[in-house]
Structure 1
Amino acid sequence: MSTPEVGQPIADTTAQATSETTVTLSELKGKNVVIYFYPKDNTPGCTTEGQNFRDLYAEFEAANTVIFGVSKDSMRTHENFKKKHEFPFELISDPEEAFCKHFDVIKLKKLYGKEYMGIERSTFLIDAEGILRNEWRKVKVKGHVDEVLEAVKAL
């Protein structure tokens, strides 16, 4: 499977999400889709990013856009994280990294001098026709969700 490229259609893939839902990209045609990948539930940056998407959710919805957060956390952890922070969107659980690898977000990271493979904070914007329109890699949380919303409104 090749890495998605801006301006190209996204290859179809399916993943399990919270609220006992299954997300299949091809079934989302007709809506814009924001998929944001984050390292771990209940960590400061990941919590802030989710809350920022939550706080602007109505504006994304008004722009015909659905949002999905993705990490390798378990479904149980995701359900608790979603409930605790009242996220109005679903979280995709990807412990096998299939969805992450589909978007090429598993990268070599360093923490306290140790190297490991983990999720690089990234966001993808897919238009209503299933075309990748924007990608943000190595995301810094501050101001990011506003930037994504502007890109959605520009579609």
Structure 2
Amino acid sequence: MITLGNAVPDFEASSTGDKTVNLSDYQGKYLIIYFYPKDNTPGCTQEGQSFRGNIEKFTALNAVIVGVSRDTVRVHEGFKCKQEFPFDLLSDADEKLCQLFDVIKMKNMYGKQVRGIERSTFLINPQGVLVHEWRKVKVKSHCEEVLQALHELTGN
């Protein structure tokens, strides 16, 4: 598990676009990794749309966005295409990234306890250090919070 102020270990994940990505691929850029429970659900769709709607602002601040859930790459491809997301979605079916970032939690769903992803976002600086994290994210104003933190870090 990683902690604020420490380097994030390099990782590898399957991505949309028939790619395998590593943390080191993003060296020199800010990386926003947002974890969400499931493709094609209302909150997850709204969160992705918010990032999509602000992509130019993130790009201007030298930031790249990736979304992560336990869905397969095939399901991600459909979700990304349908929503016209200009960023990659990473598949974490084996939960390695979820464990690294400690986002798997017990949740109540229809009166039952289930393991699921707690909506969370992590901001990694161009040197690979975790500099900000948001847990138990509320979708409505979250994108603006991430942009604000990025503005503060970059001085722009």
Q: TM-score, normalized by length of structure 1?
A: 0.96
Deviations along 1:26-76, one digit per CA (max 9) or x if unpaired, are 231100000000000000000000000000001101100000000011111
State the alpha-carbon separation in 1 of the partners of residues 115 and 128 from structure 2. 29
Where has structure 1 moved over 2 Å in runs of 4 or more? none
- Write the mapping of 1:58-73 to structure 2, written as runs, cut at 5 A: 58-73=56-71
2:101 to 100, 103, 108: 103
Q: How many residues align?
A: 153
Partner letter of residue 86 of structure 1?
E
> Over aligned residues, Cα RMSD in angstroms?
0.7
Which one has the bigger helix percentage? 2
Matches within 5 A, 1:69-148: 69-148=67-146
Q: Secondary structure at the match of 1:142?
A: helix
Residue 77 of structure 1, CA deviation: 0.8
Determine the C-alpha separation between the residues in 2 that align with 1:22 and 1:35.
Answer: 15
Residue 153 of structure 1 aligns with which residue?
151
Give the SS at the match of 1:130.
coil
- Deviation for aligned residue 1:84: 0.4
Q: TM-score, normalization: structure 2?
A: 0.96
Aligned to 1:17: 15
Of residues 30, 33, 39, the one that matches 2:31 is: 33
Q: Specify the code of the residue in structure 2 equivalent to 1:49.
A: E
Distance in 2 between residues matched to 1:139 and 1:22, nearest whole Å? 27
Deviation at 1:99, TM superposition (A): 1.2
